[in-house]
Structure 1
Amino acid sequence: MVIYQVLPEDRNGGAERIPEYLHREFIKNGFESFMLVGEKHSNESYIFQIPNFESRTTWARKILTLERKISNHLTFRGGWRIRELIRFIAEPKRMLRVWLGYEDFEFPGTWKIFDIAPKKPDIILCHVLHGFWLYDRGFFDLRALPFISQRAKLFLTLHDMWLFTGHCSHSIGCERWKIGCGKCPDLLLPPRIRRDLSHKIWKIKRDIYRKSRYYVICPSHWMKDLAEKSILKEGAIEIRVIHNGIDLEIFSPQDREKKRTELELPKNSKIFLTAGKSLKTNRWKGFSDFIALAKILSDEFENLVFVGLGASHTKEVEKIGKKEGNFIFYLPFEQNHTRVRDYYSASDFYVQPSSAESFSLTVLESQACGSIACGKKVGGIPEIIKDMENGILFSDIKELYEKIKKVLKEEKLYNSIREKGIENSKKFNIKEKAKEYVEFFLSVSEK
């Protein structure tokens, strides 16, 4: 069996780690596996870049090559307007649709997906098909799904809600996606659109799905419940839950004191960690709540350190609170799995204050490394954490503050939650989750 995984890029964010883990397990199980990405950063021979740029017109390629060459000089205020003008000159119809408020599906390399890797696929597994953060603000033409689903078994893994909304990747409580979107309350929710064409975009997606046949994989029961109420059911043969998994050979408890020394973190402090790409600017990650927690705890307790892994491009340290020995460390995002494991192991608490989470890898990884996971009651997080048993669930910072205060004062409770968190993480071994994917693929292939 030949398996393709389609994803935005081959870097180590949460959405990229899952395909990487699955690829390794597919190979171990005797399958041929390839990854097709919008942007390739590694030299791995099994990863292929979708030829969107190469598939554009000669005129567009020349102009867009110029735009890329000068983009580093357009960082001044208003420089983005020059970049947009150059893109308009390259592809006027494409840019006009974007300016009118449509999502950008003009990625012609998508239609060559069967000609990229050495072997034709039996299975195509898609992840995060918007890829809005990429240089080209996307990578996949959703209109190609009917074409793809006629030539291979198509699986869609839902890392967010984008496939069934009028534009946003998480609706943050809005339920207009159930009735066709339109009158969007927040056009700036990523992937943002210029004008409110959310109803038209929703209809375009619905019509695509009606012409397609596919299987949907959800990382949580919460996401499955949404998918079953959405336009995805128009073409879905089956919607199934397979929880995300983690590599327990990497993520396991390490010597805390040793790791603090290696990472240049205080040995005698209680350490609170949060992690993610672009923490300060990412709307979903709730970094402002993490800072709010740091302030109120630092006014009551001494020797607390709060670490934002992904909050800065360079290391920055600030004093915080009224009590002595309290600091915030703003650190660069870390892509190396072993280093991330070391930060988890060095921490007493891992805080995930996100406003949206389909199913949090970082919560699982932190549990596996012996840090107490504190997760907001959103999305699939309550499917991982049992409150005050193997972690901490909270609705707001005040509730989290009260629970952490209790745990800080009761060492026996802290140790119990920590040990049960480590044990809980073992239920989500990527090896077992990959087997669930394989079993799904095989059951479909036999039909």
Structure 2
Amino acid sequence: MTQSSILQVGSTDEEGARFNGQDLHKQLKARGYQSHHLVWLKTGNDPDTTQIQTEKSARLQQKIRRIEYNSNLQSLLYPFVLDFPMRRQFQQADLVHYHLIHTGYFSLGALPMLTRMKPSVWTLHDPWAMTGHCVHPFACERWKIGCGACPDLNILFPLQKDNTAFLWKVKKHLYQASRIDIVLASKWMMKMAEESPLMSNFRLHHIPFGIDTTIFCPGDTEACKEKLGIPKGNVVVGLRANANDFKGLDYIQKAFDHLDIDIPITILAYNQKGHFDKFLGRYQIIEVGWLKETSIFVETLRACDLFLMPSTAESFGMMAIESMACGKPSIVFEGTALPEVTFAPNGALAVAPRVDELVSAMKHLLVDARARQALGAEARNIAVQNYDFSLHVDRMERLYEKALNDSGKVKSAAQKPV
């Protein structure tokens, strides 16, 4: 039976491997596919992952980044994918799957050419592809009518002047000339895509991300706490400390300010450091930064008793399902994809985006150990049933098969090789 060749395209390989195409690429290889991953920056050692960036292109990228910013353009001038048709990996591919192409190396202007040459899939990790400039529009709904008169040009990715209507029109023009199957990881994103005029030319597919639930799994919480130097009896609150517009850091800080319970608490903070210095002496603060080693990351999750993820904008929420798989209950905000993704109230507590609501939910889980454990156990079951990585690969295989069949470029067996 003839094997299909799948090419993943993305910004990097190891950082974010669970959702950027790298783990998917490796699993496809394990299932017998010919698979390759083209990335702008390679940090791992996978022999079938190839870096696009060179010293010369890295210098050019910085110049183009400045030109685009000064010209109020986004992902239109980068030439680095125009040579894809000459690359062996692209030529040999039966299908190309694009991930995170809006990070400063890919020109949307190449989409019509590339997607007409090969059956193409594009996973949208955030709503940027549907807006005039931002990765999250929050309450603004101008993305439904062509943008322009933007209420906030400072949201990632920022513009100096309002060029959002033009950028929206450019996307519409390029999308109409492209042939792409769009993947959205949450029903929340699916609904937004269905309402977007920019997505009307594409077929939309809801396929959640996945994780290896044999790695992300419950362990000895007390042993993991001891390894981190956490005193016996402390309740550990895990959280993501990221001072951007989306992750709810300000709500978390204010919640700890207002927390008034007599329980020893450890704050276990991921990503950025220094955001909880004001609480030194009141709570134990452990800042682990960005953990590249999955095994160490899993150990820290196992040390948590609950996880805070009060994002004010979230398209999916990988850390939520990672903590769920480790048997940890989460607290999330309503109005994002997180209540749906965590199956709240069964797999998490979802509350209104207010400090008092967050404090109330935290108190409940901090005080009631049985409630924490019951919610965590159910969260684990939900993660295994819905987010195991094998399910994600199964769903992608079916999409690849359909895209190949519909394109007329299917081999004698586009489905899973045997």
Shared fold (TM-score greater than 0.5)?
A: yes
1:2 to 2, 5, 16: 5
Counterpart check, 1:126 vs 2:91: no
Q: How does 1:144-159 map to 2 (within 5 A)?
A: 144-159=110-125
Amino acid at match of 1:445: L
Give the equivalent residue in structure 2 for 1:239: 204
Contact 2:76/2:107 (CA < 8 Å) preserved in 1?
Answer: yes
Contact 1:256/1:345 (CA < 8 Å) preserved in 2?
Answer: yes
**Aligned CA distance change for structure 1 residues 411 and 268 (closer, same or farther; 3 Å):** closer
Give the equivalent residue in structure 1 for 2:227: 262
How far residue 302 of structure 1 moved from its aligned partner, in angstroms, is 2.4
SS of aligned partner of 2:21: helix
SS of aligned partner of 1:106: coil
SS of aligned partner of 2:80: helix
Give the equivalent residue in structure 1 for 2:142: 176
2:177 to 198, 211, 225: 211
Amino acid at match of 1:274: L
Contact 2:331/2:361 (CA < 8 Å) preserved in 1?
Answer: no
Contact 1:316/1:330 (CA < 8 Å) preserved in 2?
Answer: no
**Aligned CA distance change for structure 1 residues 291 and 117 (closer, same or farther; 3 Å):** farther
Amino acid at match of 1:108: P
Cα deviation, 1:222-248, whole Å, max 9, x if unaligned, reads 111111121333431x11101111111
1:364 to 310, 321, 324: 321
Contact 1:389/1:416 (CA < 8 Å) preserved in 2?
Answer: no
Counterpart check, 1:50 vs 2:8: no
CA distance in 1, matches of 2:18, 2:160: 28
Cα deviation, 1:318-360, whole Å, max 9, x if unaligned, reads 5254xxxx22333321121111111111000111011111111
**Aligned CA distance change for structure 1 residues 186 and 106 (closer, same or farther; 3 Å):** same
Give the equivalent residue in structure 2 for 1:135: none
How far residue 250 of structure 1 moved from its aligned partner, in angstroms, is 1.0
Contact 1:220/1:358 (CA < 8 Å) preserved in 2?
Answer: yes
Cα deviation, 1:244-282, whole Å, max 9, x if unaligned, reads 11111210001011111222233320000013xxx3432
**Aligned CA distance change for structure 1 residues 186 and 52 (closer, same or farther; 3 Å):** farther
How far residue 178 of structure 1 moved from its aligned partner, in angstroms, is 0.5
**Aligned CA distance change for structure 1 residues 314 and 172 (closer, same or farther; 3 Å):** closer
Give the equivalent residue in structure 2 for 1:411: 369
1:444 to 398, 403, 412: 403
1:248 to 213, 236, 256: 213
**Number of matched pairs:** 400
SS of aligned partner of 2:217: coil
Counterpart check, 1:310 vs 2:271: yes
Counterpart check, 1:389 vs 2:346: yes
CA distance in 1, matches of 2:290, 2:53: 29
**Aligned CA distance change for structure 1 residues 47 and 231 (closer, same or farther; 3 Å):** farther
Where do 5+ consecutive residues of structure 2 fail to align? 407-418
User: Alignment identity in percent?
Assistant: 25
How far residue 313 of structure 1 moved from its aligned partner, in angstroms, is 8.4
Counterpart check, 1:228 vs 2:199: no
Normalising by structure 2, what TM-score? 0.89
How far residue 96 of structure 1 moved from its aligned partner, in angstroms, is 4.8
How far residue 97 of structure 1 moved from its aligned partner, in angstroms, is 4.9
CA distance in 2, matches of 1:117, 1:50: 13
Where do 5+ consecutive residues of structure 1 fail to align? 69-83, 132-137
CA distance in 1, matches of 2:217, 2:144: 41
**Aligned CA distance change for structure 1 residues 359 and 249 (closer, same or farther; 3 Å):** same
**Aligned CA distance change for structure 1 residues 215 and 104 (closer, same or farther; 3 Å):** closer
CA distance in 2, matches of 1:393, 1:201: 35
1:286 to 243, 248, 269: 248
Contact 2:194/2:200 (CA < 8 Å) preserved in 1?
Answer: no
CA distance in 1, matches of 2:286, 2:53: 40
Cα deviation, 1:356-411, whole Å, max 9, x if unaligned, reads 11111111110111211111223321223344432211222311221232233333
CA distance in 2, matches of 1:296, 1:42: 43
1:421 to 375, 379, 387: 379
Amino acid at match of 1:31: Y
**Aligned CA distance change for structure 1 residues 311 and 442 (closer, same or farther; 3 Å):** same
